[in-house]
Amino acid sequence: MMDVTVFDKILKKEIPSTVVFENANVIAFKDTHPLASIHVIFIHKQRSKNISDLISINPQQVADLFVAMTSWAKMQGLDESGYRIVTNQGSDGGQSVFYTHFHLLGGESLGGFGARR
């Protein structure tokens, strides 16, 4: 069994979050430590620990997440100006919450990949 994460608690409404999108499979909420003017976390309601785990459990989740992220981005007008979608896997990849999640960042120029503020 996987350890309970902050995202499990958000999903169960045990801790507050600012939900910006929700459907039957996916929920999205504002990141509490944003790295851009728009920084939203998207998770699938069916738990997995990282992208490799998600693919082995149910690859359809990738489609669920990307349809949700691109639809939400379009509703926000980000499809015109651009945005970034990022996921990390494992400690060396920068993953700090071991529940598969995607960061959607936008609302400003993000610079080249890996650019630091």
- Give me the catalytic one of 33, 39, 44, 101: 101
User: Which tokens hold the place of 8?
Assistant: 């499990």
Q: Is 101 designated active site?
A: yes
User: Which tokens hold the place of 114?
Assistant: 């890996």
Question: Which SS3 state, helix, strand or coil, does residue 52 take?
Answer: helix
Is the CB of residue 72 less than 8 Å from the CB of residue 20?
yes
Query: Active-site residue numbers?
Result: 101
